[in-house]
Structure 1
Amino acid sequence: MTWTIPNILTTLRLLAAPGVAVMFLYFTRPYADWFALLLFVGAAVTDWFDGYLARLWKQQTRLGTMLDPIADKAMVVIALMVIVGYSSYSAWLVLPATMILFREVFVSGLREFLGDVAGTLKVTKLAKLKTTAQMIAIAVLFGQGVFEHYLGMSTFGMDQEMFDSIMTGAEADELGLGWKYAGMIWSGRIGLILLWIAAALTLVTGWDYFRKALPHLKD
């Protein structure tokens, strides 16, 4: 095994995947949301850098080729598990997350079955776009958790009537409830839209991979 800088970055991204979930075990919210968001974004950035540096320095290795898709899938799967686990289990969130998780498991099983042949089925530009869409959607949804809990901290002990008065402008918004509420709502909506787009791309790329693998599955 060759431990080049790109391979080290890929390994760090792989180790960061369970770290996203661990943040919610050792920190209270919204600090857990902040740390998970920063860790996830940092790891997602390495996804671009390790591939770019490997091509620039001509350091593509079998280790990196093996670890890169595993790290990507681990990041997405664990982050989605955390987001769904700490959500209200809305069908609008659970359904695209389920579609993404199903595709990742299916394709991973297909790759394992194909063995050495799987290496001939190259990653397409659409598949890379799928991964990018997934990571942006997840980062935005983690951001929603930050807004949501800062809003909850600001409204602690406040009754509904006072909250409504502040939101309608009848009372001064000294705690910034307006922008926190807007941030929570819009990050949630944008995150869901992006997640559905990612889920659609996930199914398209999953079918494309299956279609290309069909000749190798015939007896």
Structure 2
Amino acid sequence: MTLATGLTLARIALTLPVVLAILFGFGLLAAILLGMAALTDFADGWVARTRNQVTPIGAVLDPIADKILNLSVMVGLVAAGTLSGPHLIPVFAIVFRELFISGLREGGAQIKLPVTALAKVKTTVQFIALVALCFGPSVIALGLFWLAAVLTLWTGADYMRRWLNIE
């Protein structure tokens, strides 16, 4: 067990408390816990690279942990009524892309789809949007969430292009 893998597992472990905080109306607690979980996403990769702790299990768990956290938080926000009506469109877009890219990575296991710089920006915007949404559906939070959805679809199309070797 490396520190990097421990950070990834911590992100998974924080998922349920974040969602429960959202569902029970503790927005500040949800935002703090989600912020901590988001920091583990950035920290685990940095620790793995700087301490030479890149492992096959870490490489597999990291994107799974991201999806568990992000998709669970979105479900919690939908269940709490924070995301509803037209704001379900970005939820569906993000869920679609995450499942599609996961399927490409899993189904094409011999094909590597490394994370791009834009995908890292997408992840950052998505985390900021989700943290902001813990406080309610403000114009800024919803705008960031829609931006995250656009970036999500853009990076998904980029992964698809690279997977198909389309220049």
User: Shared topology, TM-score over 0.5?
Assistant: yes
Q: How many residues align?
A: 165
* CA distance in 2 between partners of 1:12 and 1:188 (Å): 29
Question: 2:120 aligned with 1:122, yes or no?
Answer: no
Q: SS in structure 1 opposite 2:135? A: helix
Q: Given the alignment of the two structures, is residue 35 of structure 1 paired with residue 33 of structure 2, yes or no?
A: no
Q: For residues 97-128 of structure 1, what are the alpha-carbon distances to aligned partners after superposition, in whole Å with 9 as ceiling and x for unaligned? A: 111111111111121110132xx221100011
Deviation at 1:24, TM superposition (A): 5.1
Of 133, 138, 143, which aligns to 2:130?
A: 138
Q: Distance in 2 between matches of 1:205 and 1:89?
A: 23
Percent identical among aligned pairs is 41
Describe how 1:1-219 pairs up with structure 2 within 5 A.
3-23=1-21, 28-29=24-25, 32-87=26-81, 90-117=84-111, 120-144=112-136, 188-215=138-165
Runs of 4+ in 1 over 4 A off after TM superposition: none
Contact 2:77-2:83 at 8 Å conserved across structures? no
Q: Which runs of 5 or more structure 1 residues have no equivalent in the other structure?
A: 145-186
Task: Give distance in 2, aligned partners of 1:4 and 1:51.
Answer: 12
Is the 2:94–2:153 contact (alpha carbons within 8 Å) kept by the matching residues of 1?
A: yes
Of stretches 200-209 and 86-95 in structure 1, the one that deviates more from structure 2 is: 86-95
Matches of 1:142 and 1:22, distance apart in 2: 11
CA distance in 1, matches of 2:64, 2:76: 18
User: Aligned partner of 1:113: which letter?
Assistant: G
**Structure index of larger Rg:** 1
Aligned-residue Cα RMSD (Å) equals: 1.7
